[in-house]
Structure 1
């Protein structure tokens, strides 16, 4: 998150960021900025915050001279006319843009009369994903000047109790470390960050303009029941499933590495470095394969080999010799990986295919639809395909759809100095499979969120929300009164996310029906999603701005509109597990 104003001595501001957790990592964040114009002339005040990409904005409000201006969430098509009018007037019609790996930028401005005040308030909601055994809450603060009053409060409330809590990030370094206070009491934890005006210039990434960096709050909860935690309230049922007491499954993993000419330089160097680290992390009972491709496909070995010390040494020698050349035959490379796994089945092992590429198919079969059909037929839902898209030139929509069709996910690898660590981090998330082919069953439940998963990995979590029937509502509520509506909003949040995810795969009437359902829920709960826009009417001459959720991969040009937002589970589940509700 960030708040910013023009750097004028006539502007005085106070900023508060409040994050409240409903049980189990459903976070509602409210950012409030109060700004006073102390000069004898009107001034333009800019409000800017950075929010997580996984979040949905659910409220925006400006209060100017006692009058309230609320943003209104509308169907995107309904807002189109206002959007077009704003563009034609040369205004910045897109209030939200993508600004990197994890954040989106919400930005607006308003002219404030002399000796007047304005209050901005932005609310967004998100379900934190559990990765590698912890939840992560990212808070961004980037000011254009030190402010007299800056407060950040985080309240975590977890029924099972909090097993650990840690605060990291740039804003926890230097003198700013003294501005952080943490308190824990049984099922609650509080983190406060109240930096003084002087402290705001003294951290690793801060300067004379004040705060500039992230605060990362990480935590996890106690997990005593292997079947997970169940919560019931007001006709809603939530199941949190994160078993860790089951033996890990050995895996068959094949890495398919693009070595085409566009991977030259730092990309191929970072890929080599990441592969060397990943190979070192393989368990001895794992089996692995390496495939490199350009216009030709090169198999290190025709069969999967056990991750013995000798085999890993030879594999690392092969990786060190990978160089860039040629075009990009994705079809042949992926099919070769599928064939390698299919020819060497191992009972009880989890098979995983990982493709890394930075471009479109330019050699061999280049028709994207035919490539996806070939891959889907070859895999036959037997194991997941994970597609890692390197950089912005890659066709990320193609990789996303191909992954989803094959029960995997796509992940963008950003062209930064730590790209090798990004690759390694993704592998770590899928390195320890615990369960395969999971089907969760809830007799008596209706309107369930996703219940079928191909794999469940250690350190992740599955969340299922259900609208319960009358037999399920006999249980007393175990949700505090102040959080009673969170389960309904969590159900809506997950349902919308998953409906949007499936849009990529559906066609015809089925696609239209699910789109209508996602739109209905987005409107009912006032979520800014790819199907809705938030219309903000500014007080000056009725100016209108429209906030649209950007698409993954957009570089943030003003006026861009995202059609699909994809960022959901990186993990899955296994076997049939039935939960009785009465």
Structure 2
């Protein structure tokens, strides 16, 4: 993409025109709708022990008397890995193949050199990514598309959410969404939400629930598919969200064991909250003008109102200078909160951008107020790159790492698409936190408040998971455990000896959880290879984060491990591509998984549009 845009020009202009381009290309190839008919569109999702496997099947007929290009276009959750794609045409099966990215790139480059349109790129949205491919179907013939993706459900604010997006681009006579949830721990509650569950579509949903299983069916008629709030003559365009949680009777949590692998879900109930010390660092540089600063003020005032009286907090705003509400942390009593809210209301944009000094000052404030039995956290909100003071990102990372010294996590919230997200992500990961993009939309204040709620109630600090007889473990040390979340650890069982595999303890600063009984084999509810696939999924996700922190030979070794696992388990990751095989005479498409924070991925519609115009000159 850098051959299309000068870097400076791209940063300044792409953001301004992205909404226009996005809207222009949001209905791809709609003019084919009169030429082909989707006569069946099924989405089947099975969630077993918090691991979801979803299969989307679309059967399409070319109704014309000549060959036509038929498109398959769906959206999938960002955290998912595509694992399988196939097409059925004239009794033949054409399978997609996951390959090393460089190998797929060579195939793509060869097609480009012939002037062919060969690329397929997924775009990054807030929660979804795009999958597109097309194939030429002969007159009065049919094609079946089948896409499979997998994801480990993440527990947030006391629930799991399975998001299914339906956008067949036309009303479909045979449209079905079937969801089956099976949880050995038992399902404590289940609900159906999302834009496709309201008003005219509500009576198209049926749900059944037993102790350990639940079923949700969504079978709207063609008329109903045109009647929902986000629907029109092109049919459905919205989400169906299955929300649920499981029973939590064991303090140690649920442990699934099968075929030499284990997965441990740890989310103990009935724990008392820990008082917290929190410093909010808010960017007030001139790039935060307008809605960004307004929404930041709104969110901050709401967040302050949610602090408990035994919490201590501080506020810093910064541009080229540092502005303190107070020089040190103070108790969250009513008088201090009223004063802090007044300070927040007066935050306005101005000046340059000295992020190094701001984060170091926030770290110093927390370090001066570490209380025994409390949890500390630092929250940074910004929308830009450092322009004043220390501007070398590596030195900033080093400075922040030394200042925090592993004592508390740093959470970085990046506002908008033009933020240097990789810089924030690396800084957060180096300090036991996470980075989150805040989308510059009307609900940005709600996004900010929603993130804060995830970390607002710490229950445990310095959590260490320990397993006797386990190896090749995923992450086992966690700085904090928050109310409504969940810690998941997976690994291999030495010599597949279940009797010798014992979770010895979960040790934290204040409490020890232990279990004397060995875990029970659960193959009756978990498929033979699912536990292994959960381990692989979690390992790849964590290796991708680790890769961001490495350099040189260490980085190459991590990349090699990611690639080996991705190829073995057919995951489309940032290091692999899926080559979509097509009938002879048609060019294979190459599907890449986008990487959060990469400017290219946010302009994928534009990229795809350029490809379709055969103006191809890209290094993607």
Q: What range is the shorter-chain TM-score in?
A: over 0.9
CA gap 1:520/1:364 in 2 versus in 1, 3 angstroms: same
1:513 aligns with 2:566: no
Once residues 163 and 87 of structure 1 are traced to their aligned partners in structure 2, the CA distance between those partners, rounded to angstroms, is 53
Which residue in 1 is equivalent to 2:127?
102
SS at match of 1:283: coil
Which residue in 2 is equivalent to 1:447?
472
Of 547, 565, 572, 2:591 maps to: 547
Deviations 1:192-242 (A, max 9, x none): 000011110111211122111111110000110111111211111111100
Q: CA RMSD in A?
A: 1.8
Unaligned ranges ≥5, structure 1: 564-582
> Conserved in 1, the CA contact under 8 Å of 2:74 and 2:168?
no
Which residue in 2 is equivalent to 1:491?
535
> Conserved in 1, the CA contact under 8 Å of 2:359 and 2:380?
yes
Once residues 556 and 213 of structure 1 are traced to their aligned partners in structure 2, the CA distance between those partners, rounded to angstroms, is 21
Once residues 251 and 245 of structure 1 are traced to their aligned partners in structure 2, the CA distance between those partners, rounded to angstroms, is 18
Which residue in 2 is equivalent to 1:7?
33
Map residues 212-251 of structure 1 onto 2, 5 A cutoff: 212-251=237-276
Once residues 242 and 284 of structure 1 are traced to their aligned partners in structure 2, the CA distance between those partners, rounded to angstroms, is 26
Of 77, 81, 84, 1:59 maps to: 84
Deviation at 1:79, TM superposition (A): 1.3
> Conserved in 2, the CA contact under 8 Å of 1:359 and 1:393?
yes
> Conserved in 2, the CA contact under 8 Å of 1:4 and 1:142?
no
Which residue in 2 is equivalent to 1:575?
none
> Conserved in 2, the CA contact under 8 Å of 1:549 and 1:561?
no
Map residues 49-88 of structure 1 onto 2, 5 A cutoff: 49-88=74-113
SS at match of 1:504: helix
> Conserved in 2, the CA contact under 8 Å of 1:445 and 1:466?
yes
CA gap 1:12/1:427 in 2 versus in 1, 3 angstroms: closer
Map residues 35-50 of structure 1 onto 2, 5 A cutoff: 35-50=60-75
CA gap 1:471/1:27 in 2 versus in 1, 3 angstroms: closer
Deviation at 1:11, TM superposition (A): 2.2
Query: How many equivalent pairs are there?
Result: 561
Q: Which runs of 4+ in 1 moved over 3 A?
A: 2-5, 86-94, 559-563
Which residue in 2 is equivalent to 1:573?
none
Once residues 323 and 379 of structure 1 are traced to their aligned partners in structure 2, the CA distance between those partners, rounded to angstroms, is 28
Deviations 1:23-52 (A, max 9, x none): 2x1000000011112322111111001001
SS at match of 2:41: strand
Which residue in 2 is equivalent to 1:20?
46
SS at match of 1:279: helix
Deviations 1:404-424 (A, max 9, x none): 111111000000000000000
> Conserved in 2, the CA contact under 8 Å of 1:244 and 1:459?
no
> Conserved in 2, the CA contact under 8 Å of 1:170 and 1:204?
yes
Deviations 1:414-465 (A, max 9, x none): 0000000000000000000011111111121111111011110010011111
Deviations 1:244-283 (A, max 9, x none): 2221111000000000000001000000000000000001
Unaligned ranges ≥5, structure 2: 1-26, 500-518, 609-616
Of 297, 300, 303, 1:275 maps to: 300
Once residues 436 and 10 of structure 1 are traced to their aligned partners in structure 2, the CA distance between those partners, rounded to angstroms, is 57
> Conserved in 2, the CA contact under 8 Å of 1:160 and 1:222?
yes
Of 600, 603, 614, 1:556 maps to: 603
CA gap 1:556/1:92 in 2 versus in 1, 3 angstroms: farther
Once residues 297 and 40 of structure 2 are traced to their aligned partners in structure 1, the CA distance between those partners, rounded to angstroms, is 48
Which residue in 2 is equivalent to 1:533?
577
Deviation at 1:10, TM superposition (A): 4.7
SS at match of 1:456: strand
Deviation at 1:185, TM superposition (A): 1.6
SS at match of 1:130: coil
Of 416, 419, 440, 1:394 maps to: 419
> Conserved in 1, the CA contact under 8 Å of 2:38 and 2:58?
no
CA gap 1:148/1:426 in 2 versus in 1, 3 angstroms: same
Deviation at 1:513, TM superposition (A): 1.9
CA gap 1:530/1:300 in 2 versus in 1, 3 angstroms: same
Which residue in 2 is equivalent to 1:168?
193
Higher helix share: 2
1:195 aligns with 2:242: no
